[in-house]
Amino acid sequence: MTFIVKKTYFIEEIKTTTHMRKMFLLLIILGGFSFLNAQTQPIRIIMIGAHPDDCDGGGGGTAILLASMGHAVKFVSVTNGDAGHQTEGGGALAKRRMAEAKEAGKRFGVTYDVLDNHDGELTPNLNVRLQVIRKIREWDADVVIAPRPNDYHPDHRYTGVLVQDAAYMVGVPNVAPDTRALKKNPVFLYFQDYFQRPNPFRPDIAVDITETFDRKINALSAHESQYYEWLPWIGGYASEVPTSAADRLTWLATRQTEPLTPEILKALEKWYGKDRAMRVKYAEVFEVCEYGTQPGTEEIRRLFPMLKK
């Protein structure tokens, strides 16, 4: 009897120990998962431009870097680009540009959405504002990048206004209630521009894209209708465009080389340190918008993990 009791007790003890071990293991596994999760939770970035090639030029190198680190990047064109050509137009051009955008998206490693609004006719109306709000919400964006509302092109200008108009509304559940409102307002940034009035662009964040520059140029070249046809024609330099694919890439790389101004160099030094900053050949820079979440230095480093001293 005593023996049996002891045995039962022993079995119970074994059961308890096994149970505790299992629980302990489970806790370790769960802890490990949440740790991994915290480390690998992808940053979600959405870049919004007016035309199917705007995000590419302003943030393509940064997008390649983020996507290659496992983060989620989406490009959105608010118009379908159906006015951006000297001899083509309408639905046929919109279709051609959609195909170019999809190809560019593949080369950048991002998803590319093109909204079906007419090119050259964009206005900051409620309908398009709701489209923009939905895109930011559906992407569950941590960061939104768009043009400043000062620009020569009305579509660029109004894309800037539309994204600013969405910068608070993405969190308001009663606006566009068919799409879940964001719990946290994203960080809103501006692409670089050269306009001086009412105030010049301020490079708050500088990303070294030297190592991805060639990939960026290769992705940009997917927009054949733009970089090799329309932009040279409207810019008066169509005669410069080479005919062979290899020569075109070299030519496009030269055209896309932007000067590293003293302000940009200062920003590069801030984020990468002096030594690395001196070696940078190509950079993309962004300004923090006053609307949306205001990030501190550490938060910017979390959202742009390639910024390392």
Binding site for Zn ion (CB under 5 A): 50-51, 54
Nearer to Zn ion among residue 83 and residue 277 (C-beta) = 83
* Residue 105 CB, nearest approach to Zn ion (Å): 16
| 234 vs 86: CA distance, rounded Å | 8
User: What residues form DSSP beta bridges with 292?
Assistant: 187
Q: Which is nearer to Zn ion, 189 or 280 (CB)?
A: 189
Shortest Å distance, C-beta 151 to Zn ion: 9
CB atoms within 10 A of CB 128: 21
Task: Give 154 or 171: the residue with its C-beta nearer to Zn ion.
Answer: 154
- Please say which residue, 51 or 74, places its beta carbon nearer to Zn ion: 51
Q: Is the Cβ of residue 83 or residue 280 nearer to Zn ion in the bound state? A: 83
The residue behind tokens 């120990």 is: 17
> Which residue minimizes CB distance to Zn ion?
51
* Sheet of 143-146, strand order: 111-114, 72-77, 44-49, 143-146, 187-191, 283-292, 205-208
Calpha distance 73→28 (Å, rounded): 32
* 47 contacts 73 by C-beta, under 8 angstroms: yes
Least separation, in Å, of the C-beta of 260 and Zn ion?
23
- Quick check: 130 and 176 in contact, CB under 8 A? yes
DSSP string computed for 32-96: HHHHHHHHH---EEEEEESSTTHHHHHHHHHHHHHHHTT-EEEEEESS--TT--SS--HHHHHHH
CB of 197 to Zn ion, least distance (A): 20
Instruction: Tell me how far apart the terminal alpha carbons of the chain are, to the nearest angstrom.
Output: 72
Task: Name the residue nearer to Zn ion (CB basis): 137 or 156.
Answer: 156
Rounded to the nearest whole angstrom, what is the least distance from the CB of residue 215 to Zn ion in the complex? 21
Q: Which is nearer to Zn ion, 58 or 295 (CB)?
A: 58
CB of 294 to Zn ion, least distance (A): 28
Q: Residue 146, SS3?
A: strand
CB of 236 to Zn ion, least distance (A): 18
